[in-house]
Structure 1
Amino acid sequence: MKTVIVTGPGTTGIKEVPTPSAGPRDVLVRMRASGICGSDGYYVSIGGIPPRQGETPLGHEGAGEVVEVGSEVAGIAVGDHVVINPIAPDSGMIGSGGPQGTLSEYLLVENAVLGTSLAIIPDEVPFDVAALNEPMAVARHAVNRTGVRPGDKVVVFGAGPIGLGATIGFKLSGAASVVVVDLLPSRLEKALAVGADAVINSAEEDVATRLTELHGAGVTAFGKPRAGTDVYLDAAGAPIVLQTALANAKQHATICVVAVHKKPVEVDFGAILDAEVNIVTSMGYPTEIFEVTKEIADHWEKFAVIISDRFAFEDAERALETAATPGAADKVVVTIP
């Protein structure tokens, strides 16, 4: 079979490797789609991950069809459409230093347990949309970390894949209003398409003024005027986002950071003390990897909006280049015949 690997700093290749076979406790999946994550571009840039540096398999956002089932595996049948938990294998994380990646024609799910290492997704969900399961689990964990309650007013900064996934998650959690902030009109259009109640173009509008118009007025503990927003989500990773959130947060508002900040962000806690804000962070998906699967199944048309570019497997290297090029694409998915 063919698999996509890092061959050196900044270089990738498609390599022929033996097709695995399922043992008694394993499941063999014919991969049908794999999303490209920002971490894939990072692994390419550094030449892979030890001990497989120079030959690191890529891809951890996978969906496919079961073609072999071990005799001791329960609840899974040949022909099932499945999504993969990349952090489950004992042999190493799929596509992140382990011996396999989802950018492959086949993937061996070792010691397969339904609901732990893979989950079945309805056949009507397109494989490219199903492949969003892993990043949407990241988004769902961020939503869960905010403690959002029905009726809350939410603002999401950043209309990339995680921000859009979180927008869907907030609405499914009962948020009364979800406002999305971004600089790009095309991304804001997607935000409305997935269910945002309103959008703000921060290049053209004053965010604080618009949030107060949309969410009403709030105050700090000492009565200083603030926006009436209950939850702020940073899915953008720009210092101005946290500065804006902290400057506008009312008393007991929650600010959650799911974006990766590559440089330290200075925070003046003295200036925000009377807001008594709750600051939380969100990393990965401790329990959400398959919590989000049913949401995708039930609302796959909305999640499909998140995909910006699709590439065939033979163009996987170009897909990686496109995903790593700033501004070239939002969410790239490789489809595998």
Structure 2
Amino acid sequence: MKTVMVTGPGEISVLEVEQPSAGPRDVLVKMKACGICGSDHMYTTYGGIPPRQGATPLGHEPVGEIVAVGAEVTGFAVGDHVVMDTMRFTDGLLGSGGAQGGFSDYVVVKDAAAGVQLRVVPSGIPWEVVALNEPMAVARHAVNRLDPSPHDKVAVFGAGPIGLGALLSLKRRGVAHVVVIDIVPNRLEKALAIGADAVINSAEENVVERLVELHGRSTALGVRGLKAATDGYIDAAGAPAVFQTVVEAAGHGAKLTVVAVHKKPVELDLGALLTTELTISLSMGYPTEIFEVTDDIIENWQKYALIISDRIPFDRVEEAFELAATPGAAEKVVVTFD
């Protein structure tokens, strides 16, 4: 079968490898779609994923159809459509340093158990939409870390896939008002289509002033200057300007969750933040959220479908990786299989 591997710094290759088979406790899954993540580009740039040495399989946003079920496995049947928890594979993280990757014709799930590595989903949802399950779980964890109340007002920085996923999870929780902030007009239009209550183009508007207009002004004792009554902020952008803006905007008792990867150190003026008592939390992966978000995708898949910008067949996978790695060329690229 074919599989995509990092074969050197800045280099991926489609290689022929032996097709896996299912043992008595395993499930064999034929891949149907797999999203390209920013970390795939990072792995490629570095030429591999520790601790694995040499050629490294890629792909950790997969969805597929079960084609073989081991004799000792219960809860699954041939033909089931399944999403995967790529962090629970017993042969290593799928597509992130483990023995297999989702950009393959087939993946074997060893020691398969329902609700652990796999969950069955309805067959009527497009494959490429179900493949959003993994990144949407990342977004859901960020929202859970923020832990907003239904009456809260929240600002999301970044209208890429994770920011939009956070928007959908915030609305799933019934959050009263969500503003999405970005500098790309078509991203902001998509945020409105998905359900944002308002958007701010930070390249053209003063973010603090607009947040005060939308969420009110914080007048808590000891807080100086113009501060927004925004209750929570999510950084899904990873730009230093986000921290600077939150420091400027945050009123007393606000919360900030950072899910974006910051590639450079960020200067933080703790003195300016002291009277606000801002709570800062970081968000990584999806300890419990991988199958929590599945229900919302099943119920609202048409909204999730708007996140996908490009659907490219597996026989053009190298082109798909090049597109995903080109700044501004695409938002969310999903590779589809026959």
TM-score with structure 2 setting the length: 0.98
The one-letter amino acid of 1:255's match is L
Shift of 1:35: 0.2
Task: Tell me if structure 2 keeps the 8 A contact 1:194–1:305.
Answer: yes
Aligned alpha-carbon RMSD (Å):
1.1
Say which SS state the counterpart of residue 155 (structure 1) adopts.
Answer: strand
Q: 1:254 to 1:51 in 2, by over 3 A?
A: closer
Q: In structure 1, list runs of 5 or more residues that go unmatched.
A: none
Aligned residue runs from structure 1 range 180-329, under 5 A: 180-224=180-224, 225-329=226-330
Q: 1:234 to 1:51 in 2, by over 3 A?
A: closer
Task: State the distance in 2 between where 1:63 and 1:221 align.
Answer: 51
The one-letter amino acid of 2:106's match is Y
The one-letter amino acid of 1:273's match is L
Task: Tell me if structure 2 keeps the 8 A contact 1:220–1:274.
Answer: no
Paired position in structure 2 for 1:160 = 160
Task: State the distance in 1 between where 2:145 and 2:190 align.
Answer: 24
Shift of 1:49: 2.3
The one-letter amino acid of 1:177's match is H
Task: State the distance in 1 between where 2:242 and 2:233 align.
Answer: 9
* Deviation per residue, 1:113-163 (Å, 9 max, x gap): 111101111111111000011000000000000011111101000000000
Task: State the distance in 2 between where 1:288 and 1:223 align.
Answer: 36
Q: Does 1:10 align with 2:17?
A: no
Aligned residue runs from structure 1 range 73-222, under 5 A: 73-222=73-222
Say which SS state the counterpart of residue 302 (structure 2) adopts.
Answer: helix
Range moving further from structure 2, 295-304 or 214-223: 214-223
Number of aligned residue pairs: 337
- Which aligned segments of 4 or more residues in structure 1 are displaced greater than 6 angstroms? none
Task: State the distance in 2 between where 1:214 and 1:239 align.
Answer: 23
Shift of 1:272: 1.3
Task: State the distance in 2 between where 1:216 and 1:105 align.
Answer: 53
Shift of 1:261: 0.7
Task: State the distance in 2 between where 1:180 and 1:54 align.
Answer: 41
Task: Tell me if structure 2 keeps the 8 A contact 1:221–1:276.
Answer: no
Task: State the distance in 1 between where 2:152 and 2:51 align.
Answer: 46
Say which SS state the counterpart of residue 119 (structure 2) adopts.
Answer: strand
Say which SS state the counterpart of residue 227 (structure 1) adopts.
Answer: coil
Q: 1:51 to 1:153 in 2, by over 3 A?
A: closer
Identity of aligned residues (%): 61
* Deviation per residue, 1:303-329 (Å, 9 max, x gap): 111101111001111111111111111
The one-letter amino acid of 2:87's match is I
Task: State the distance in 2 between where 1:150 and 1:112 align.
Answer: 37
Task: State the distance in 1 between where 2:283 and 2:234 align.
Answer: 10
Task: Tell me if structure 1 keeps the 8 A contact 2:212–2:229.
Answer: yes
Say which SS state the counterpart of residue 181 (structure 1) adopts.
Answer: strand
Shift of 1:21: 1.0
Q: In structure 2, list runs of 5 or more residues that go unmatched.
A: none
Task: State the distance in 2 between where 1:324 and 1:64 align.
Answer: 24
TM-score with structure 1 setting the length: 0.98
